[in-house]
A = this chain, B = another copy of it.
């Protein structure tokens, strides 16, 4: 791995649960030498990608990241555009709704709305979702370029639960259904007891760029709930797609 890759993987050790880490901790988790880790942290700090708490000497993600992310968001206001509709969907379904954007070979969770009830599915911002074992991933694949689909189905398909689909044919079938319905269903593919539906958000070229998903405890979910949530998710996704693409109807051709 190159040096920049190491630096970035250092950044990726910071999570919602572990937002502040010490030098030794970072070295341990990354597997890099302490000296190396420190040199990378100094370089990152020098550009505002990490900050160090002067009192505790712990490191955390820096303001430079916010700056660049905001430049990106200003040009391509995905989250900004989608958040109100995510919120509406969360209110309408009274379940956890999360918004994801495709990046690299996974979906990145960029926004979450949790319902105000104790028993709910918990999703963290920043969480990375595999494509084959989540509702979001399946509907993404359903509306993705062939290359992306092949790349995913060609790779190793980890089974997270006994329900996870790992056969390319089964996944393709699931995708076809999602394409027809407009939304995907994933029954405990990533975690036991959780059932999710998701719809694709499309770019101007008609391919998926992200997803909006509703995740709920399976115990209290009826088939009717699934259908209702699915349609609501599709409506939200369509509205987000339209707002992003300036009502470019051509873009929605594939979803129609």
The residues of A with any CB-CB pair to B shorter than 8 Å are 2-5, 7-9, 11-12, 14-16, 19, 39-40, 43-44, 46-49, 51, 60-75, 79, 101-104, 108, 110-111, 125-126
Contacts and interface: CB of A to CB of B under 8 A. Distances in A.
Contact of A8 (B47, B66, B102, B126): B47
Nearest to A47: B8
The 9 closest A-B pairs by CB, nearest first: A63-B103, A69-B69, A61-B72, A4-B7, A19-B75, A48-B103, A8-B47, A4-B43, A3-B3
A67 B103 contact: yes
A51 B70 CA distance: 15
Nearest to A108: B67
5 contacts: A4-B4, A9-B47, A11-B68, A61-B72, A65-B65
Interface of A is mostly: helix
A39 B104 contact: no
Contact of A62 (B19, B60, B70, B103): B103
A11 B72 CA distance: 11
A62 B73 CA distance: 10
B63 A14 contact: no
A9 to B, nearest CB: 7
